[in-house]
Structures are given as structure tokens and as C-alpha cells.
Amino acid sequence: MSMKKSLQSVILGLIMISPGIIAQNHPVYMDDSKPIEQRVEDALSRMTLKEKIAMVHAQSKFSSPGVSRLGIPENWMSDGPHGIRAEVLWDEWYGANWTNDSCTAFPALTSLAATWNPAMASLYGKSIGEEARYRNKNVLLGPGVNICRTPLNGRNFEYMGEDPYLASRMVVPYVQGVQSNGVAACVKHFALNDQEKYRDQINVIVDDRALHEIYLPAFKAAVQQGHAWAIMGSYNQYKNQHCCHNQYLLNDILKHDWQFDGVVVSDWGGAHNTLQCVTNGLDMEFGSWTNGMNWGSSNAYDRYYMAAPYLKMIEDGELTEKELNDKVSRILRLEFRTNMDKHRPYGSFATDEHAEAGRKIEQEGIVLLQNNRSVLPINPQKVKHILVVGENAVKRMTIGGGSSSLKVKEEISPLAGIQNRAEQNQIEVTYLPGYASPTIAEQDVKGAKATESKDIDREALCNETVKAAKGADAVIFVGGLNKNPQQDCEGDDRTSLQLPYGQDQLIAALAKANSNLAVVILSGGAVTMPWVKNVPAIVEAWYGGSSAGRAIADVLFGDVNPSGKLPVTFYRDLSQCSAHSLGEYPGDGVNVNYKEGIYVGYRYIDKQGLKPLFPFGYGLSYTTFKYGKLTVDNQTTSTDSITFRINVTNTGKRAGAEVVQLYVSDPKPLLPRPVKELKGFDKIYLQPGETQQAVVTVARDGLGYYDAKKQSWVNEPGTFNALAGASSQDIRSIIKFIVK
């Protein structure tokens, strides 16, 4: 770059930072008092063809160029959605070994969804957005809102459950919280990326009704209510087009129907064809190595589909600049909302405040599944010696799992959390692993090798642990999955619903050895529990991030009353899951057919009259709640919304929170509909003996269904049932209402 051009870039950079120091006739695009669209138009008019082409594809693993000549900064992305990923080398996935990029790990999004509390989603988004802003990232690659169609999906832990309404309610405040920091939330993976097996090639066959009712609503809410500034396409295909350049999904639905004005980013290596990238809605292309999904030549960014090949098609007259101008306009809009907004805050990183935010989210997301004989919370008057068992009690859960792997400032393990809390009551804590998983190489470390694997003598580990359990006052087993390949990990799915590494046999033996047993499961979703009738206390703790151990101990010792509710169904076996019993999973490697249609999760459970292991929306408390009678403000209405109310009383001796869930049923639909569907919820906090009114307002539009023949949503008048309950299978009160 010449001295003159360098000086010009510096001056324009100063203009961006301090517009008051320059004359009033500076470029319109630098004047943040002007409307964004006017600034976009002005900046675009000043750019050369090659500058435009440069902006629509990557220049490194996680960045794309700006226009230094015009003072327009680069765009820098960071993997999410649970924390800000460590810096990597310019052209590789391997860590760059910085010393100042150790972040806060927030709980997995399944844990966030299990809070059933939009305020927690707002706190989550604000906190992670502050960390992204501090690290000078202007796009956070998250959150994920793909639907949990099968519990085997390797990335379920990155998503918000099986229900489109719940995911929609939780994603909006997350997006708003992130973007309040001047950082774009990039909602992913759009769309139908509901399995990892065959993910880069599988073509999803799904009917229009299921697409619109089940798989798109959370994305639509993120765009129309959350006003997300970015969307990431998915690897899979739909209508035999890759979703990163898909005419129907990106142009027809996202940009036309939903009026999305942000940027569509490819998943890394998700682009496959220059012409389709140009015409079918992709705005920014990023890669894996530099050659799509494969490992290929280094620093080959000019060979990206939307790089030199795109430029040549324009120069040869095969394409005009029409599509390019739209793409660059969207990227400029992103710049003005993020990097070039001088009012955005500075952010903060790996703070105690963020650790506490993660702890609070995890506290509310932990689900008490079973508590026979009131084994929990731990009673220090009766318990003086606790045996903690399980590899997951000490294993680091913030690393591994694929793109959500993190380098953290601190990670409090369940064992450390339990030990620290037990000390306050002079309770002795001992630890035994009980089981072991095979060692694997650490992710993102160049040249990393797994430590030498030794033969695992499961019988010896089990016998040692059972012997110790007989002498303990209480046993806390911490197990589950662990983000190893095929155990909640990007790139492949789980092969079974069972707990791995012989845990089921160990738990069954512990239950016989000590009746005061609590099992804590760390996982991204459902697992089977053949020992469920013999274990008095069961806790689902998901992946809790940096403060996981503290939050788990808070619940186990009763400092926090658990209030989480399941965002997914825990099946007894895979035959209860519609993707396996009705639909196809994982497909034949070419196609996968969602034959189950709209009957996903609890919708299928209800239709078949099944009793799962634990139903959607289920979760216990250390106190009890009594529901009153459900009422509706106007039993016959033609208004845009209907408001329901129900009194709830805390009938126990502890303060606690209850999630009142409102489902709606259409007894006489013109088209087949689920037995009931979640349409609202309200989380209320009650002192012992206190009564509060839960209030749920349902939009009339939310009562409709998608008519594939009409290609539109239909809102039928008629008589509906509203059902209020503590879970999808624990309905406490029902009322009829009429919509004119």
C-alpha cells in the first residue's frame, strides 16, 4: 500500500472514531447522524468492483475484509454460542496460543432453554455479547435453534429443545442481549440441520406444514421479533439445494417473506457452487480449511466460489453487479450496526460478573427429575461423609464437542463445587472415578495426541466404588455424556440413548450398596435410565460452563431450589421418538424423509398415548405447588390476543419457582392437529404459603396452523381448550374459549 493510501486510511479511521474533528462535508457514510440506508448507498457508490468482491468472502479462518481505503473495518467472527472461542491461527483451526483469550463458558443452550425464563436468555445474550465486544468480534456465531427431532443429534446441546414456541420465546431476548453490545447475533443453522450424520450432503424431505410449524418458527422469531443482524445457513440440503445457497429458504422465505435485512453467512465450507451462491441468497462465504469441507491448500481464499470465480463471471458479462450490490449493502449495514457504531459499549471479558451470570442461568436450568424419600437436598445433620463417584465429576466439559469448544479462565468441576460447599458443614468428601472413558487428543491443539490409553478394568473400578459406597452416608454419582466423538459432539451423532462406558451397571450396583444415592447427569439431552426405579434422586444438570460445579452444589445442598423444566422429552427408548418410529433416521446418506410431519417430541407422545421416562416440561422442586382454576379474560373473543390467568400457591416450606405451562387444543380442526401445543408459559417465584397469579397471553395468530395447499397460515374460528399444567402430562386445569 502506498504512503498516500495508508495516510488516507488513517484519516478516515479517525473520522469514524471522532467525526466532530472534521469538516461538515465529510463522506455521508461516515456520518452516523444520517439514516443507515443513506450511508449504505453512499459507501457502496464509492467502492470498486474488486473491493466489493473482497467483502463477500473470507480472508482468514474467521475474518473477511473491509475497505481500508474508505476506513471500513474488517469483520471478525467468533464461534459461539456458549462462549467466545480462543483465537486460532490465521489459516488453521489450531489455537494461536494467546495468553489473554481465556473466556467465560456459559451453560449449554439446552440448560438455558430448561430455565423457561426469557430473563435468563436476556442475561445470557447480554453477557456473552459483552465478551464478544471486548474481544473485538462483531459477529457471534450463535445462538442455535434447530429442533431436537432425534435425541441422537450430536449438537442438541447447542440448541433450545424440541418445541418451536419455547425456542422462539428464548431466542429473541438472547439475540437482543447480544446485539445491545453492537455485536451481531448470527442465528444458526438455517434450516433443517437436525442431525450431524451425513450433515454435509443429506437432502431433507419434509412437508411444508412441518417446515413452517416446527422447523422455522424460532428462526422467524429471531428475525422478526429479535431483529437478528445475521443468519447462518446449514450444511444439509433441502429441495436438493444446499441450504447455504437455497432459493426457497433464503430468497423466498427469509429475505422476501420475513423481510430480513441482515447478512446470510455460510457455515464453514457450506458453499458449493458460484452461480447458486450468487443468485440464491448467500452474502458471505467462509470455509473450513480453505477448500470447502475438506482439508486443502492453504491461503486459497481467492479461489472461493464468491471470490475470483465470481469476479470473472461479472467481468465476462455472465453476471451483473445487481446481486453483488445487494450482498455488499447488507454487509455495510452490518458494519454500521456494529464496527462503525461509535456509541456501542466497550464490553468486558471473563469477569466475576459473567461467571455469576452463568451460575444463575445454570441454577435455573438444572432439572430435578426424581426425589424419592427427600434424599435431596443434602441434610448436614444426617450426612457427614459423601462419596462422589464418576469421571464427569472431574472431567473438563468446556473443551471438545466441536465448534463450541472453549479455552476458559476457570471451570469449577462438580467435585470441586461439592467439596467447597461441604466444607461449610464439616462434611467429609471422598472421590472415586467409578468408570473411565477412552482418552482422546485435545481439540484445537496442533500436533495433539491422546495420552497413552490403558486398558480399562471396569469390573475393578466398579467393585472398588461399591465397597466405598457401603461406608458413606450419601453417594453422589456424576455421569452422563462427555463431548467425546459420538457423545454430544459436532460431526457425528450418538449411536445409542444409553449411558456409555458401563455407567448403567455401575449405577445399578451403587443403588444396591447405598439407598441414599443421587445421580447427576451431564448431557445435552435425553438418556435412558434402566435403573430409574431403584435410584431415589436424579438430577439433569446439562453442561453448566465455568460455574457448573458451584451451581450443581447450590442445588444439591438446597441453597437454590431447583426450578428447571425439561425442554425435551426423555424417552424410555427410541421407539417413543417419531423420527425413529415414523420417519427416517439417519436416512440413506442421500435423503432423509421426515415422515412424522408435525408430530415431533411430545406431539407424538400425546398422539400415541405414550408414557415417556420424563415428559416435556417436567421438573420437580423442593417445595410443592397447588394450582387454582384457569380463567380467561374474555371467553368469547374476536380480539388479537387472549389472556389466561391461574392462581398458584406454594404449599411447601421452601421458597421456589414454578413454570406454569399453557397448552391449547383444537377439538374439531379442519386439518389433523396435535392433541395440544405449547402456546405460553409464565415462571413465578413464591414464598412459602404465598399465592400468585400466573398470566399468559396468547396471540390469536398463534392459534393457527399452516395450510400447505393454500401456502399460508390459517386461523380458524371455533371452540378451543386451554390447558394449564406443570408439564405436558401434568395438566391441572382446563377451560374452553371461543374465537370468533
Asked whether the beta carbons of 522 and 541 are under 8 A apart, the reply is: yes
- How far apart CA 544 and CA 249 sit, in angstroms, is 34
Helix, strand, or coil (residue 313)? helix
Work out the number of other CB atoms within 10 angstroms of the CB of residue 35: 11
- Catalytic-residue membership of 267: yes
Which DSSP string corresponds to 447-502? T--PPPPPPP-HHHHHHHHHHHHTT-SEEEEEEE--SSTTSS-TTS--S-SSPSTT
- How far apart CA 672 and CA 95 sit, in angstroms, is 52
Helix, strand, or coil (residue 15)? helix
- How far apart CA 366 and CA 113 sit, in angstroms, is 10
Q: What is the DSSP letter of 291?
A: B
Long-range CB contacts for residues 456-459, cutoff 8 Å, separation at least 24: 456/501, 458/501, 458/502, 458/505, 458/506
- Print the SS3 string covering 551-595: HHHHHHCCCCCCCCCCCCCECCCHHHCHHHHCCCCCCCCCEEECC
Q: Which of 101, 267, 283, 606 is catalytic?
A: 267
Helices (H), 598-699: 602-608
Q: How far is CA 478 from the centre of its chain?
A: 23
- How far apart CA 236 and CA 5 sit, in angstroms, is 43
Asked whether the beta carbons of 645 and 631 are under 8 A apart, the reply is: yes
Burial level of 375, CB count in 10 A (0-12/13-18/19+)? buried
**Residue 84, φ and ψ in degrees, nearest 5:** -90, 115
Cell 447447542 belongs to 158
Of the chain, the end-to-end C-alpha distance in Å amounts to 69
Show the cell assigned to 633: 379474560
**Residue 538, φ and ψ in degrees, nearest 5:** -135, 135
Closest CA to 715 of 724, 726, 707: 707
Show the cell assigned to 56: 463477500
Give the residue numbers annotated as catalytic, written as ranges.
Answer: 267
